[in-house]
Amino acid sequence: MNAAGKQIEFAGIPRSNMLKVLGYDLFSVGQVLTEDASYEVIDAEFDGKYFYFVFRDNYMVGSILLGDTTLSAGVKKMIEQHMIVQRFLNRDQE
């Protein structure tokens, strides 16, 4: 219950982790497991690096970066600030 007496769930700040596993840098943030078909997943692997992004309702909600974590600050910011990413999701339609 909040200060106004209403029931509301605190979404909080997405949890994130950065560590080194078997010599690979690993970063994860937010929701990385999809619950149903309302989520869209984009992933790619090249040059020993793996990128995994989870979207829902035009927002990025989670990510895993393995081998290259240079995008971690930007990804975390996009998730925390609820930036609309529809433009990137519609890249194949343009």
- pTM value is 0.77
Within a domain: 2: no
Q: What are phi and psi of 50, to 5 degrees?
A: -130, 135
What integer pLDDT is reported at residue 13 of this predicted model?
Answer: 67
Q: What does each of the 94 residues of the chain score in pLDDT, given as a tens digit? A: 556 666 655 466 677 888 898 899 999 999 999 989 999 999 999 999 999 999 999 899 999 999 999 999 999 999 999 988 877 677 655 4
Closest C-alpha among 34, 90, 86, 21 to residue 63: 34
Sign for the pseudo-dihedral over CA of 9, 11, 81, 3: positive
What integer pLDDT is reported at residue 18 of this predicted model?
Answer: 87
Q: What is the rounded CA–CA span in Å between residue 49 and residue 65?
A: 8
Within a domain: 32: yes
Q: What are phi and psi of 30, to 5 degrees?
A: 70, -150
Q: For the chain, what is the domain count?
A: 1
Residue 42 belongs to a domain with what CATH number?
Answer: 3.30.390.30
Within a domain: 48: yes
Which domain covers residue 61, as residue numbers? Answer: 26-89
